[in-house]
Chain A
Amino acid sequence: MKEVVYLSELEKIARLSKLGFSAEELQSFLRDINDIVAHFEKLNQLDLQDVSPTSHLGGGEPPFFSDEPQAWEGSEEVLKGAPWVAGGYFIVPRIVDKEEKENEDRRI
């Protein structure tokens, strides 16, 4: 079956990505993404049942850090370059409404 991406779905994806689009842009993106998705159909010709996915390249055991703290000297520089800092904190618009509150609790 041919996959089709609908406008409502694209709008949801845009919200998840925190990207805003004009109606016109949405239409153009909808065409693009459907174009790509249509080309993707080609992969259905392949039998992928028993193929394991490659999520990473490189084998062997990855390196670990040993548990020894090391201070970094650049934090002030980061704060200096930040869009808005007060009292050493990065400042964001106040987080108040319930949705935000819930989001905060969802964290971890």
Chain B
Amino acid sequence: MAAIEPMEQFLVHKVVDLPPIPVPGLGMLDMSITNSVLFMLIAAILISGFFFASARRQIVPGRLQALAEMLYNMVDGTLTGGIIGDRGRPFLPFVFTLFLLIAMLNLIGLAPGGFAVTSQLAVTAALAVMTFTIVLVVGFARNGLGFFKLFFPPGMPLGVAIPMMFIEFISFSVRPLTLAMRLFGNMLGGHVVTYMFASFVIGLGLFGLEGAGLAKLGLIGSVISFLVIVALLALEFVVAFLQAFVFAALTCVYLNEVVNLDHGH
């Protein structure tokens, strides 16, 4: 019986070896194409291919174009338009890209033989830090030092405002961490649980086939585990979409705070 190694699926290994690039002050940067990078590239190609194919600009849309427009309207209407408002338009490409890239990475992670790129903490952390940095840059660019008003809840007595300021500052500072951990944890958990039930299907199935008497109950356990996998996969598809949506929605919430800081949105 094969060893049960639920974490093996997350191992990063090189697919194409590239010479490391020297980075001044930091040492060597290994830019080799790993399985993780390979699936990032696949996701990027799928997204671009889909949008190139769907950009027919027809008045009566075909299926691909209708799907692309549905996604566009969802991001434009619910996310940037709905959360940020009129000032959200400039962030539409950013939020759209973020949402589609995460959703696609989540989905190809679910495909058989796929690698779950978004269950790599490095990837989710990079995306979260990038989002956080953009929020900071937009915040300072739009408000200057008025950005710090974010930590002063309006209309509060000074005795409450100062401890509130610390709480606000901490909750602001941990945002990249929570963004990264939420996506990472959801994807990791989903894949591990699916793996465990898959190992039950085989383990209990072999146990039931080889054993006799009560051991035959293992076959029932195997079938039940299989049904659980089917249900779990359906749930994982929802989670894949939902987590991408949550990441993009939180990005919009954070952008909204700094974009509409001056008129208490």
The answer to whether A and B assemble together is: no
